[in-house]
Amino acid sequence: MSLVVDLNADLGEGAGHDDELLVLVTSANIACGFHAGDAETMRRSIETARDRKVAVGAHPSLFDRENFGRKELPVKNGEVFDAVVYQLGIFQAIAEAAGVQPNHVKPHGALYNMAVRDQELADAIGRAVAKVDLSLILFAPQNSALARAGKTNGLQIAHEVFADRNYLSDGSLVPRTRSDALLHDPEEAAARVVRMLREGKVRSVDAVDVDVRAETVCVHGDTPGAVDFARALKSRLESEGVSIRAPKFSK
């Protein structure tokens, strides 16, 4: 069986090693100003990704720079719809000026985690993306509210897994407030991603096998050692005969 997967990283967040990651990944999720970044960082990130032939996507967030968009906040669905449309609109305009067609959307941090669970909030995101551009691919976990909302609103889904995050037995990510939220060993992470691809399974921190579908794999760009982590992961995948490329719109 021929295995294909995308490697994505969250960029434009001021971590300082975006250029190194752009040599390794095939998709870049670029901060849209609500949790990090601004118009200049968006432009520079998009242009650098373009020159490295890396697909670009918007990384919209809750408006919360103080907590880097990683704190769940009480928000109304209409507010989420407006916030996502606003961020995508800015991102699309900057990308167009750089001669780039955005490929995907991946909600950031708390917005992503909330949308995985909350169907109405997820639908607000799905409707927002669909209103801006139906050709944008939505990154979302398998069997999540976010994936269902994307499909309901006519969007193509790239099912996402996380190389550097641990899982609970219900398939959700271990909260970052816990000491075991992150997986730091790149060799262990690489072996786990290979199993995700070959078997569609990941072992949770509770020692339970969880069903997953891996079409795009995230490596967080702000994690210490992110470059070495991504390099080891890519090397292992290539040695296993996995083709690494960005998803393409196919409708």
Closest among 69, 18, 57, 4 to 245, alpha carbons compared: 4
* Helix, coil or strand: residue 4: strand
pLDDT of the chain along its 251 residues, tens only? Answer: 468 999 999 999 988 889 999 999 999 999 999 999 999 999 999 999 999 999 999 999 999 999 999 999 999 999 999 999 999 999 999 999 999 999 999 999 999 999 999 999 999 999 999 999 999 999 999 999 999 999 999 999 999 999 989 999 999 999 888 999 988 888 898 899 999 999 999 999 999 999 999 999 998 877 778 898 899 999 999 999 999 999 999 86
Q: Say if residues 109 and 68 touch (Cβ distance below 8 Å).
A: yes
User: What is the C-alpha separation between 156 and 174, in angstroms, rounded?
Assistant: 27
Closest among 113, 107, 103, 73 to 87, alpha carbons compared: 107
Q: What are the residue ranges of helices labelled H in the chain? A: 18-21, 39-51, 77-97, 109-117, 119-132, 145-152, 186-199, 226-239
Quote the pTM value. 0.95
User: What is the C-alpha separation between 23 and 20, in angstroms, rounded?
Assistant: 6
* Helix, coil or strand: residue 107: coil
Closest among 248, 190, 239 to 26, alpha carbons compared: 248
Pairing state between β 209-211 and 216-219: unpaired
**DSSP tag of 72:** -
| Buried/exposed code over 196-209 (b: 16+ C-beta within 10 A; e: otherwise) | bbeeeebebeeeee
Kindly list the structural domains of the chain, giving each domain's residue range(s) and its CATH number in brackets, ordered by start: 4-244 (3.20.20.370)
